[in-house]
Every structure is written in C-alpha cells, then in structure tokens.
Structure 1
Amino acid sequence: MRSRVGALLWRAGLAALLVCGIGLLPWLSRTDPALTVLKTRSADRDPTPEVLAGIRAQLGLDAGPSHLLGQWLAGLPRGDAGRSWISGDPVAPGVLQALGASLLLMAAALAVALSTAAAVCARTLYLGAHRRLDGRRAAGSGSAMLAALPEFLIASVLATVVGVQLGWLPALGWYGPQWTVLPALALGLPAGAVLGRLLDDQLPGAFAEPWALAAAARGLPGRSVARQALRRCVPGLLPNLGLFVVGLTGGAVAVEQIFDIPGLGRTTLQAAIAQDLPVLQAGTLALVALAAVTTGTARLAARRLIGPALRDGALRSPHRPTPTVHPLLPLAHGLPLAVVIALGLPRDPLALDTGARLRAPSAAHPFGTDALGRDMLARVAHGALDTLLLALAITAIALLTGVLLGLLPTLSAPLVDTVNAVPPVLAALLVTAVWGSGTTTPVLAVAVVAWAPLAAHTSALLLQERATLHLTATRALGAGPWYLLRHELLPAVLPPVARHALLRLPGVALALASLGFLGLGAQPPSPEWGLLLAENQPYAERAPWAVLAPAAVLALLGALAVTAGSAAGRGPARPKGGSATRRRGRHTTAAAVEQPSPAQESITIR
C-alpha cells in the first residue's frame, strides 16, 4: 500500500513539474509572450510599445509566471482551465473536443495496428501450431520495412493517391467515420508492424516450452496451443501497447496536420508555437492523464494474465536464445544500402541545376532530381551519414538508459508514463526553449523520449522472468540478488530488449525526420533524410521518385536493423534450469524445475 501511495505521489509530482515547466516556457526561451501573441492574433499589426503593454495588461503578464500558474491551477478543481490567449475562448471545451477527436482516431488506428500485428506473426503461429517451427523467426523483412516507413509519408501517399487521384475516401477534414480511415491506416500500419515484430520475437520461445511440447504430445489441437502461446507472450508487450496508444493520441501531429484533423496533438503543437500557455498546459495535462490511465491499465492486464505465477514462480522463461537467422539475410539488406552511399558520396549534394528540375531517374541521375535540380542520389547518400550516426548514438543511449531505469520499475514506471505523454515535437520545443535552437536540438528532443519504450519493455520482461521456475530454484539454492541479476535476469532480458532497440533504430531516424518535416530539425540546404522528405512531399504526385528514394533507404535501414539484431542476438539454446542450477545440485533441481505446479497448469491448459 505504501509503495502504491509513493508511486502515485511520484506521478503527481512529475506531472506538476512538467506543467510548471510549460508555464515557464516563454520566460525560459527569453521571448516576449506579448509579441508572440500579437503575431498570432494579427501578423500585420505593428508591435508598438503601447500595443504590447495593452496585451501584457490583458493577459496579466506583468504579474509574472508564478501568479499566472497559480491562477491557472486554482481554476482546475472547478473545471476552469482558463481562456485562450489567442482567441479568448474557454480552454476546457476546446481541449476536450480535441481529445475526443484524438481518441476516435486512436481507436481506429489501434484496430489497424492490432490487425497488422496479427498478420505479421500469423505465419509463426501457424508453424508453431503445426509443430513445424524450427526456432527461426518466421516474419519476413516486409514488416521491418513497413515499421520503418514514416507515418507522414504514408499519410501523404494515401491522401494523394487514395484520396485525390482515386477519390475512394476523403483526404481532408474530420466530419464522420469515413474520414478516419486514411489517417488510421497511416498511424496503425507502422505501429502494428513494430508490435508484430516484438511478438514474433517471443513466440518461438513459447512454442519450445515443455508445456507446449506436452500439449502437442497429448494430441491437443494446434489452435489451442497457439492460443496459449499467444497468451503466454502478450503480458511482456502490454506496456509497450499502452505506450503506442498514448503515442497514437498525442504523437500524431504530422498526420493530423496532413489530414487537417483537429486532434489533441495538433492543438498542443499550435498552442506551443503560439505560446498560448493555457491551451498548452491543459493539452499536456490531458496527455499525462491519458498516459497514466492507459499504462496503468496495461500493467494491470499484464499482471492478470500472468496470474498466480507471480506468487508461485510457476512460469518458464520464453526469452532464451533460439537458433539464428541466416547470416546472409542482413547482408541482403545492408549491401544495397552500402552501394547507395558509396555511389552517392562522390557527388555534390548542393549543386543546383534549375534546367533539370524534377527529372525522372536516368543514367546521369539514378534517383532523379528534386525541385531545385539537385541530384537525389547525392543528397540521400550524404544525408545517410548524419542520420545514421545520430540515430545509432541516440539508440545506444536509449538502450542503456532504458535498461538501467527498467531495472527499477517503481522509479521508472511513473517517469515512463510522463515522458511518453510528451510528443517529440513538444519535447523539441521545450528543449529549444531551454537550450536554444541548433543542430543538437532534435538530438536532445528525441533522446529525451526514446528510452521510455525500452524501459517499459525491460520492466515487463523482468516481471515475467521473476516468476519463472529456474529463478525460484536458483534463489532457493542460496543465490543473492546480484547473482540473479548478472547470471539470470540480464541474460534473459537483454537480448530481446537489444533487438527491440535495433527495431526502433529506424523509428529514431523517423523521429528526427518528423522534426525536420515540421520545421523543427535540420534546415535547408542540409540533406538530412527528414528534410528531404519534407522538401519533396509537395511534389509527391508529380515526381514520386523524390519522396520514394529517401523512403526506400529508410525501409532498407529498418530491414537491416531487424535482421542484424536477429542474427547477433540469437545463439544455441542454453540448457534448462539456469546457470546456478547446472552448477549446484543438477539432478534434484532439474526434477523440481520440471515438476509442473497448479498455477502453471492453470495458465497453460485453460
């Protein structure tokens, strides 16, 4: 009970700290809020001292940030979130309306994501149910490429092709259920591909457990075994599913911009740019509350699915290494990427040729040219160096931070909820306010939020691993906490989390790309991939190669990251019972490990 109260106070303190930091945003950025509000209200009006003084008096800016923040907080218990500095309208009804639109879009996108995840791991489930799974990952590289595609690129292609050219579905606006289809596909397809890959990573281990082999030997239907294997692996993914739900609500800024959806992410971004603090604070508070409810529900569902095994130690670890993928598979994806970089580096990415604008691919320009006549092959190759190095550095930092904080779930769980509620765009704005704009701004903004899914994954796997039989047996033999951590927990948890980090490597590159797409990352004439996509997106219908070239390279990066992680992270399966079991009392402990408990039977046979 005391720990729950402490966690609740920790969550409340983090939310208050975030809201207070947003309340200080104009003063941290050393900008005049009155000037920003004037430009947003009327860009043509001259910012004379008298006009600015009138705005300060109207908004109460002369009283200072502490007075404004206290006044705003005092109104929250009455449901009063203040009035917008731009429009003068009450904030609460507008934020609730934006939240409703985002929740509807999130529900549709979540349905698409779950369907996509089911399609990704369907082959593994089929092979496992028919006892033809050899331990290799069955999902192909197509899901990795899908996970690497930028959401805003999918949105742009769907809006242009399906909405405009074919006219099958509306491409702009938010007027009914049919307007949710295209944005839901843009958000749900990449998220479902990531979830499917994570699930497919665990299924071979679940099908190799003794209960599955015993069920197959008894002649139980393969469909029942597959269903229980799925139920066995889902608890480790539920926290990440909760993070995806929050991300689909507050992080869909680019998609909401493209489809003109009045969602919470777009509303929060516009308020941040205009420094409309009451709207920004209310929107952020709504995102934090949604994150706390969603992730709390996901953790409760995970505990319910694991059931009595948390108390009895009646599970076996599904995270032991399984046979490696074919070593030539990463080479098949890495070689084309290396060839593109090698061929493009000798070319000048900044050379202009206005007479060759938007040229189709040819021998002189294999990837075509952009709207200024610059060679796309050169720009993609030179942009690869910056994008890949930054993405690798951020992923390494996120992996280290995520594992360390994931080992302390009581401390990290509220922090993960709060950090995940902050869209990368808003994080970029906050970082810009504190550190100033520059080349490091997108790096810091992405690094601030990139570790949260890995920490949630680490905590979820630890929860399952602590309920395993071999850990219970090793602890009974006298092993201490540090021994269990070094020899049992970390070897079981690190490989899937490392593969998860590699799976998110293209996502880190995409987060940088999204900031560039929204004008918060690299600036022209940099050949950074996100900026390439943003610059050429208006010409997607006329010159699709200008968008497809950087998108194809991102897809190759995603496939390379996934297959390389599979090849590096898997090896021969270790003997049953754990390292300490093999070292001490092998026969008696092995018998204890193999003896099923009532809790295990209730989980596997139900």
Structure 2
Amino acid sequence: MTATLSRVLTAAALLAVVGLLPWLSGRDPALSILRARSAEQEPTPEALDAVRADLGLADGPVAILLRWLGGVVRGDFGTSWNTGRDVLPGAVAALGVSATLMACAAVVAGLVAAALVAPALRAGVTGAPRRSSGLAAAALTATPEFLLASVGVVVGSLYLALPPYGWTGPQSAILPALALGLPAGGLIGRLLADAVSSACTEHWVVTWTAAGISRRRTAGAVLRRAAAAVTSQVALVAVALLGGAVAVEQVFAIPGLGRTMLGDARSQDLPAMQADVVLLLLVSVAFGITAAVVRRALLGASIHDAAVPVPTTRFVRRRRHVVVPVVGALGVLAIVVAGWSRDPYAASTAKYARPSASAPFGTDASGRDVLARVAHGAVGTIGTSVAVLGAAVVVGLVLGCAPRLFVGPIEVSNAAPPVVTGVLVASIWGPSAAAAALAVLLVSWAPLAAHTAALVAEVRARPYVAVLPSLGASRGRILLGTVLPAVIPTVVRHALLRLPGVALALAALGFLGLGPTPPSPDWGLVLADGVAAVERAPWVAAAPLVSLILVSITAVAASSLASGPARWFTGRGGASVGSGAVPTPAAASL
C-alpha cells in the first residue's frame, strides 16, 4: 500500500510540474508555440492572442491541467499544441520503436555481461573467488553512447552496408543496439560479477563443493543468488534504454520516445509531453514491479525466514591488481602535467593537425591544442562529476533505506532522461554549469537508491542481524552499526562505475547549451567537437575518451582493492599471504 501511494503521489507531482512548465520557465508559452508552428510568422500581439484563445492559455495552468486530467479519465490525452493532432497515437508509436530498440540493445548487453561475469564465476566455483580490476567493464561504461553511434554510422554505412540512419524495421536497430548495449552490458556485467564474487564466499558454496555437487549446478545456484541483488538494476537499465537513448536516437534519426520527449520539451508542446511522460511512467512502474517479483522469487523463503547467507568477503588478489589503479592515476596525472602549461584557448590555422611533437594530441577544428584543452578541463570535469556523484551516493543511501516510501521517486527519477531533465531545469533556472549538475543529480541517485534498497533488504534478512533486536539493539543502532557498513562498500563501487556516465551526461548538457558552453575546455565539449569529425580527425575524440577511460578504470580498480580482506596470490603455485582470521559479521556486530 505504501509503495502504491508513493508511485501515485510522485506521478501526480511530476505531471503537475510538467503542466506548469510553460509558466515556470518565465517565457510566454504562446510565443514558444507560435515559433514551433511557424518559425517565419511574425509574433505580433494579434497572432499571440490568437494562440492563447485557441489553446485556452488565458485560463491558467491549473485549469489546463485539470481539463487534461479529465480528458485522460475518458481516454482522451488531448491534441498537440503544435500540430493539432491527437498525441496518444504518436506517443504509442514512438514507444513501440523504442521498445524494439531496447530489446535489441538488451541482447547485446546480455552477451557483454555474460562475457564479463564468466571469469568471476569460474574462479568462484573453483574455490578462488576474486574481484577483478574491472578494466574491461570500466572501459565499456566510460565509452559514450553518442561516440559509439557516430563511429557506427561511419563504419556501418561505408563497410557493412547497413542503414546509417532512419527507422525501417529491426534491421535499422543493429548499429543503435550496439551503441546502447555495449555500455549497458559493461555496467550490468560489472555489478553481476561483483555479486557473483561475493556469493562465492558464502559458506554454502564450500559445503556444496565438499558434498561433491557438480560445478555446473553450483554455478547455476551462484548465479541465482547473485542475480537477486541486481534485478532492480537490470530493470532500471532497461527503462533507461527505453526513454534515455536520446543521443543515439538523434544520431541515427530514430523516431523513438526519448527523441520525441526532447522535441516536445523544447517546443513546450504540453499535451504531447504529458502523454510521453505518462507512457514512460507506466513502463517504469511495470518494470519496477516485475523486478521486485523476480527478486522475491530468486531469494525464496530465505528473505522471510531471516536465512539469507552471509558472505565472508574474502577474495584472492594478485599483485597486478594494484598496478591497474596506479597506472591509471599516473596516466591522468601525466596528461594534466604535460598540458597544464599550454594555452587551451589559443586558436591557429593548423586545423585538425595530426599529433606531433608540438601538439602530442593534435589540434581541433579551431586549431587549438587538444592536449591543453584536456589537461585544463580535467579539474572541472572530474571535480564536478565527483561532487555530483558524491551527492547522489548520499541521497541514494538515505532514501534507499526506506524503499517502500521512496519507490515512486526512484522509478520516476530513473525514467527521466538526463537530457530532458536538463531542458526542464534550464527552462526554469536558465542554462549554467550548476543547472546541468542539478539535472544530472536528479537522475543519478535513483539507481544507487534502488541498489541500496535491495542490499539493505538482504542484510536485514541475515541471521545475525535478525537476532540483534532480541539482544536489545535499537533499529537505529542496527541500521547505522550493522546494515549500512555492510552495504556502503558495494554501493560506492557501483557509484564509481557510474563516474564516467555522470561526466558524459554533464558533457551532453553542455553540448546542447544547457551547461558548460564553448570555449570551455570541458572534456565533454572537447569530445563533442571530436565526434563531429570522428572520420576526419579521430584523435580529437580519442584524447578525452582515453582520459575518461583512465579515470573510470582508476576509480573502479581502487574501489575493488578496498572491498575487504584478501589473500594475496604470488603467482602460479605460489603461496598466499594475508589469510589470517577475520571476525565474523556477528562478532563484529556484538
């Protein structure tokens, strides 16, 4: 009942904000609609009055919203303010296109995730559970979708004879599915591999092995145990693929729901945007409910009987696992030091010059030194991204501890594409770096909160936690002293994997004029400049891309090193060290 009420209230609040948007922006909605209908028509007072009379704008936002809700009850979602056509058929058609694209991208993501999980699963069932450095997953997650899309257009059209743009059916989904599925698979694969490694440290795995149960059967049980922790993340990624593929849909000119929402938000076509939001909310709620049902089925009776197994969080690590974050950090530092003394704004006639001794990363379309721009943009890009991600972690941890109360905001925030949210925020407060950061924060905390909620439920169902109230421990003490310490490390690792995504979301908003604007050396703007000339001058996009990957690898690998006790493996046949006794969670709690 609480979860249902949360969803209803959140949906109502979102629809109210959308309904008030034309008036919250401080712009005359009649002028925006007139421009959308005919860019060449002179905005005379008579023309604006005609628009207001035609749409009933003089009645005010409350009356318009109530009229729209009354129509929805009768199955009438209204007519477009720009075209005069019914909005529901167009929104449903766009949803169908996005659903087809999401299904294709999900296949790609599943294959990528399987490849990333296989090594962790193999190591776990053979008695040597470990967490990898996450290099492959971090590289995939750090690669921007719009860059993959731009490269796909060039490669697909020139070498593979695939449709470069437009939508004629499933064959048009191959290139967009790759652009969407590779980063999504990297994220899901890393989270699932993390959960698999943790599940393999639970005592029942050792018991099954000693009892002679086959490795194949043990692997299946481990996957089922691990999948319970990431079902909510799979649902959130699916919704993000459905409504958040704005950049990919723009590059490939796909008439999907994300691209439609962006166009409706820009033109302030209120009925069309409300229809888009309602459909996306319905899909988000359906996916959220399905994920909850699947998760309960995977956990079985253990979630109710307080019998969820306790991981020992002991992993085998090799010395080379330390090398990865060190090399990544040194790589970023070397780029910053090498380019800090150069001028990132100085233009020259050497446009798109190849990398050379004078310009190690080449020059861009204005002849500016790419190395200088990447070096000077590092502080702002990384600093803002870390600040946004830190705030998202705090909000996610706090709200994730009360999942039933905040299930509505979690699902709604995840369903909103960052670009569309940026348009809404910028229309109210104006374009700025702070507005872009706020827009990304509004959609970044939801996956972390959902992950927190799933982990908190599992930790509460562990035997040593269930017995604490009978020992006199208060709810607050159990939460702060036992539950959160077991949850925070995993959530932080998840957040660090999303660091490049946050940076890219900020960059996308800056590229659209909703955040940092040219000639700022922000990494996203440098990357966006390179995307436009990826065939002619790939080095322009390669420099910020490599920097983002290095930052991502450093963050993910460093978080893995801090994931708990480890046995250091010195090599083949070598001895392991650091395997002393570790207090059990129950002992630590008491």
What TM bracket, shorter-length normalisation? over 0.9
1:365 corresponds to which letter in structure 2? A
Contact 2:88 2:275 in 1 (8 A): yes
Residue-by-residue CA offset, 1:88-139 (whole Å, 9 max, x unaligned): 11100000000111111111111211211111111111222333x2x33136
Aligned match of 2:330 in 312, 335, 346? 335
Taking the aligned partners of 1:37 and 1:511, their CA distance within structure 2 comes to 28
Aligned match of 2:462 in 461, 468, 471? 468
Partner residue of 1:7? 3
Taking the aligned partners of 1:518 and 1:118, their CA distance within structure 2 comes to 35
Relative to structure 1, the CA distance from residue 41 to residue 582 in structure 2 (aligned partners, 3 Å threshold; closer, same or farther) is: closer
Taking the aligned partners of 1:543 and 1:200, their CA distance within structure 2 comes to 36
Pair 1:68 & 2:75 matched: no
Partner residue of 2:178? 185
Partner residue of 1:127? 123
Aligned match of 1:439 in 430, 433, 436? 433
Taking the aligned partners of 2:221 and 2:3, their CA distance within structure 1 comes to 32
1:7 corresponds to which letter in structure 2? A
- Taking only aligned residues, the RMSD between alpha carbons, in angstroms, comes to 1.7
1:366 corresponds to which letter in structure 2? P
The correspondence of residues 139-150 of structure 1 with structure 2, limited to 5 A, is 140-150=134-144
The correspondence of residues 470-485 of structure 1 with structure 2, limited to 5 A, is 470-485=464-479
Q: Secondary structure at the match of 2:240?
A: helix
Pair 1:95 & 2:91 matched: yes
Aligned match of 2:284 in 272, 276, 291? 291
Pair 1:203 & 2:210 matched: no
Deviation at 1:318, TM superposition (A): 3.2
Deviation at 1:479, TM superposition (A): 3.1
Deviation at 1:478, TM superposition (A): 3.8
Taking the aligned partners of 1:193 and 1:219, their CA distance within structure 2 comes to 34
Contact 2:308 2:461 in 1 (8 A): yes
Aligned match of 1:263 in 242, 246, 256? 256
Aligned match of 2:542 in 534, 540, 548? 548
Pair 1:408 & 2:415 matched: no
Taking the aligned partners of 1:139 and 1:30, their CA distance within structure 2 comes to 49
Residue-by-residue CA offset, 1:189-228 (whole Å, 9 max, x unaligned): 1011011111111222211222111111122111111111
Deviation at 1:580, TM superposition (A): 4.3
Taking the aligned partners of 1:196 and 1:166, their CA distance within structure 2 comes to 29
Deviation at 1:475, TM superposition (A): 4.1
Contact 1:323 1:570 in 2 (8 A): no
Aligned match of 1:174 in 154, 160, 167? 167
Deviation at 1:82, TM superposition (A): 0.8
Pairs aligned (count) = 575
Contact 1:324 1:570 in 2 (8 A): no
Residue-by-residue CA offset, 1:385-427 (whole Å, 9 max, x unaligned): 1110000101111111110111111222111011111111121
Deviation at 1:577, TM superposition (A): 4.5
The correspondence of residues 272-351 of structure 1 with structure 2, limited to 5 A, is 272-318=265-311, 320=313, 322=315, 326-351=321-346
Partner residue of 1:590? none
Deviation at 1:431, TM superposition (A): 1.4
Taking the aligned partners of 2:588 and 2:79, their CA distance within structure 1 comes to 65
Contact 1:121 1:138 in 2 (8 A): no
Contact 1:324 1:566 in 2 (8 A): no
Q: Secondary structure at the match of 2:173?
A: helix
1:147 corresponds to which letter in structure 2? T
Contact 1:139 1:200 in 2 (8 A): no
Deviation at 1:581, TM superposition (A): 7.1
Aligned match of 2:23 in 20, 27, 37? 27
Partner residue of 1:387? 381
Residue-by-residue CA offset, 1:61-96 (whole Å, 9 max, x unaligned): 111111211111111122211111111111000000
Q: Percent identity?
A: 46
Aligned match of 1:528 in 522, 531, 556? 522
Contact 2:77 2:87 in 1 (8 A): yes
Taking the aligned partners of 1:180 and 1:222, their CA distance within structure 2 comes to 37
Taking the aligned partners of 1:319 and 1:539, their CA distance within structure 2 comes to 50
1:342 corresponds to which letter in structure 2? V
Q: Which runs of 5+ in 1 are unaligned?
A: 584-606
Q: Secondary structure at the match of 2:228?
A: helix
Taking the aligned partners of 2:382 and 2:336, their CA distance within structure 1 comes to 11
Contact 2:11 2:408 in 1 (8 A): no
Taking the aligned partners of 2:219 and 2:124, their CA distance within structure 1 comes to 7
Taking the aligned partners of 1:371 and 1:321, their CA distance within structure 2 comes to 51
Taking the aligned partners of 2:254 and 2:539, their CA distance within structure 1 comes to 28
Taking the aligned partners of 2:492 and 2:42, their CA distance within structure 1 comes to 55
Taking the aligned partners of 1:318 and 1:83, their CA distance within structure 2 comes to 56
Aligned match of 1:112 in 108, 111, 115? 108
Taking the aligned partners of 1:440 and 1:538, their CA distance within structure 2 comes to 26
2:161 corresponds to which letter in structure 1? W
Relative to structure 1, the CA distance from residue 402 to residue 455 in structure 2 (aligned partners, 3 Å threshold; closer, same or farther) is: same
Q: Which runs of 5+ in 2 are unaligned?
A: 567-578
Q: Secondary structure at the match of 1:539?
A: coil
Relative to structure 1, the CA distance from residue 319 to residue 346 in structure 2 (aligned partners, 3 Å threshold; closer, same or farther) is: farther
1:208 corresponds to which letter in structure 2? T
Deviation at 1:481, TM superposition (A): 2.0
Contact 1:470 1:581 in 2 (8 A): no
Deviation at 1:517, TM superposition (A): 3.4
Deviation at 1:324, TM superposition (A): 5.7
The correspondence of residues 206-221 of structure 1 with structure 2, limited to 5 A, is 206-221=199-214
Please say which of residues 253-262 and 36-45 is displaced more in the overlay: 36-45
Deviation at 1:470, TM superposition (A): 2.3
Taking the aligned partners of 1:421 and 1:404, their CA distance within structure 2 comes to 20
Taking the aligned partners of 1:247 and 1:414, their CA distance within structure 2 comes to 16
